[in-house]
A and B are shown apart, each in its own frame.
Chain A
Amino acid sequence: MDLGRFPLLAASILALLLAGALFLGLMIGFAPLTPAQVFAGLGTPGGESVEAVIVWDIRLPRLLLGALVGAVLGLSGAALQGLLRNPLADPGVLGVSAAAGLGGVIAIYYGFAASFALSVPLFAIASALVATLILQMMALREASILSIVLIGVAVNSLAGALTALAMNLAPNPFSLSDMVLWLLGSLANRSYTDLWLAGPFMLLGGAMLFTAGRSLTGLALGEDAGATLGVNLNRTRTLVIFGTALAVGASVAVTGTVGFVGLMVPHMLRPFVGYEPGRLLLPSALGGALLLTLADMAVRLSPSDQELKLGVVTALLGAPFFIALVYRTRRSMR
């Protein structure tokens, strides 16, 4: 069936799958609770019982945060691919996530976070914005797919090196595992504090990206063609750049850099919803949320003694996907 003619149908199917995954996510955890116990806990919000605490204080915030982060990553991937007209665009590949991670590390290691908790998302957002602006500046001059990805590689390695430097100079030797998590990403031990801290920024950024949707479709034909269709290019650019910086910056501030979601999801959904960037946004957000919810479930189900890192799971899925994508698009890249 060609769902391209029914974008709402595709979105509804994804929404149903997401609801199912979230429900399963509530059931699964390190504590072997039976479904009956989970329901009992679910029925007593704010309760003091073990079940209520595990369901409401531990599993629910982690699930909601994971879904929200996945949604904004899928969404910003789809929007960046539309704006840059580049199939390899993704906040992780282009270094936006790594730059946001650097901002978060600076906020924490130079003591801003201790006095002002909001400084972590704010620094991450500002830092992501710098990376996005650099990308856009370069993309204006040189539109080849390959050169944009190479700029992303450079931004990625610079941000990674500076993050490592900040950790390297950290004034005591007990914080190395912290660095690994900034570079890999994880949802471990997330609580409502993190959700309230970063959620509003992610929602605002997401709303900006959705607003840009229709113009992105116009842009798909090229900037000149878009202009004749009445697309205000500057407004679209601003919306996508600031929206991505807000959404990705805030998500990285609470989960670290979780890569490849924004790359994989739009590509997997494009055949189903058609090739209009604007139509791809909602399904990509839902698909991103679904993918991250499933990946975090894999993390929690893995039988290893140490919890797997979420970023490891998405990279294991995403990196081969990236290679296949490069192989398929290699001719159009030059």
Chain B
Amino acid sequence: MGNRRRVVVLATLALLALSAGPSRAQENPEAVSLDYCADQYLIALAPPEQILAVSPTATSEYSFLAAEAEGLPTLRASAEEVLVMAPDLAIRQFGGEAAILPMLERLGIQVVQLGFSDSPESARSNLRLVGRALGREARAEALIADMDRRLAAVAARGGERELTAIYLTPGGFTSGEGTFIDAVIRAAGLTNLGAAGGRQGWYDLNIENLVMNPPDLIIGSFFDLRTSRMNHWSVARHSYVRELLERRPSVIVPGRYVACSAWFFVEAVEMIDRALAADPRLSGGSS
């Protein structure tokens, strides 16, 4: 008798699980995000009732949607905390360890792993990926359309500017080919001196090179962060570079525009475009 009851209970549970599973996944699944970049997608695409938790850094000063993240519950990117919260979906770009993802999937939590984007195209595909998983495709397409419209407007205004730019962070890094910043600079119609000679990726900006090949425009970012301390050995600390930043046209892009290489990089492109238009030394063409 006891055995039969147990079988019935198990069968009922199995049925419940089966019926609950697909229906929860079909509509708008409840989701968590594991790092501040994944947070941006979740906050931008899903209404608050669909957000179970975001990462603790969602409200940090390098988070683009920090204001919108205010008041949302947070969790750390550990397997235990995610499991306790029992979301339908977990979104990750780099938070926690990749090793926890198979564990989450085995326990029935859908996982979206975002690729690192290095171009406007990958910014679009990341938005579509999360939009589909959240059942918010329309919202994702609207964000993409808005980004494309604004990029096209800058391209139309700027055309092919015959100006060069170099990117600089407080750490003294600059960016070569294949980086998102390279895409930002090109989207503003400028030539990236950091990619001269086919240099790839991120590297320390060399001060003697900077003196030999001075750019028309210096684009800095992350100089705005209150929590950031400039690297003690950064080229940006050198008196010559400080003077250059004061003397030559430069634009300091807020770190939160470019920290995630996501669709809102268009804000940085527009800011550079406005700076170029406003500076009489640059709006007339080559300096």
Partners in one complex: yes
A residues at B contact (CB < 8 Å): 29-31, 50, 53-54, 57-58, 104, 108-109, 113-114, 120, 170-172, 174-175, 177-178, 181-182, 186, 188-193, 256, 305-307
Q: Are B239 and A192 in contact (CB under 8 A)?
A: yes
Residue of A nearest to B229 (CB): A108
Q: Are A50 and B231 in contact (CB under 8 A)?
A: no
If A172-B225, A191-B238, A306-B204 are given as contacts, then 16 extra A-B residue pairs at C-beta distance below 8 Å, sorted by A number, are A30-B206, A30-B208, A53-B211, A54-B208, A57-B240, A58-B211, A108-B232, A113-B229, A172-B228, A174-B225, A175-B229, A177-B171, A178-B232, A188-B233, A189-B172, A307-B204
Q: Mark B216-243, 1 if CB is under 8 A from A, else 0.
A: 0000001001011101111101111000
Is B60 close to A, CB under 8 A? yes
What would 18 A/B residue contacts be, using CB atoms closer than 8 Å?
Answer: A30-B206, A30-B208, A31-B208, A31-B209, A53-B240, A58-B238, A109-B229, A114-B229, A174-B171, A175-B228, A178-B231, A178-B232, A188-B235, A189-B237, A191-B237, A191-B238, A256-B232, A307-B204
Task: Please pick, from A31, A172, A178, A181, the residue contacting B227 in the complex, using a CB distance under 8 A.
Answer: A172
Q: Are A50 and B211 in contact (CB under 8 A)?
A: yes
Which residues of the partner chain B approach A174 to less than 8 Å between Cβ atoms? 169-171, 222, 225, 228
Which residues of the partner chain A approach B172 to less than 8 Å between Cβ atoms? 189
Q: How far is the CB of B121 from chain A (nearest CB, A)?
A: 26
Take A58-B207, A174-B171 as given contacts and tell me if A181 and B239 are in contact as well, using a CB distance cutoff of 8 Å: no
Residue of A nearest to B235 (CB): A189
Task: Please pick, from B209, B229, B232, B238, the residue contacting A181 in the complex, using a CB distance under 8 A.
Answer: B232
Q: How far is the CB of B238 from chain A (nearest CB, A)?
A: 5
Which residues of the partner chain B approach A108 to less than 8 Å between Cβ atoms? 229, 232
Q: Are B209 and A30 in contact (CB under 8 A)?
A: yes
Q: Which of the four size classes fits the interface of chain B?
A: 20 to 34
B residues at A contact (CB < 8 Å): 60, 62, 169-172, 203-204, 206-209, 211-212, 222, 225, 227-229, 231-235, 237-240
Task: Please pick, from B225, B228, B229, B240, the residue contacting A191 in the complex, using a CB distance under 8 A.
Answer: B240
Take A177-B171, A178-B171, A189-B237 as given contacts and tell me if A170 and B229 are in contact as well, using a CB distance cutoff of 8 Å: yes
In the bound complex, CA of A190 to CA of B241 (Å): 11
Which residues of the partner chain A approach B212 to less than 8 Å between Cβ atoms? 31, 50, 54
Take A172-B227, A306-B204, A307-B204 as given contacts and tell me if A57 and B239 are in contact as well, using a CB distance cutoff of 8 Å: yes
Q: Shortest 9 CB-CB distances between A and B: which pairs?
A: A171-B227, A31-B208, A30-B208, A191-B239, A172-B227, A178-B231, A189-B235, A189-B238, A191-B238
Which residues of the partner chain A approach B225 to less than 8 Å between Cβ atoms? 172, 174
Which residues of the partner chain A approach B170 to less than 8 Å between Cβ atoms? 174
Which residues of the partner chain B approach A120 to less than 8 Å between Cβ atoms? 232
Q: Are A189 and B233 in contact (CB under 8 A)?
A: yes
Which residues of the partner chain B approach A113 to less than 8 Å between Cβ atoms? 229
In the bound complex, CA of A192 to CA of B232 (Å): 14
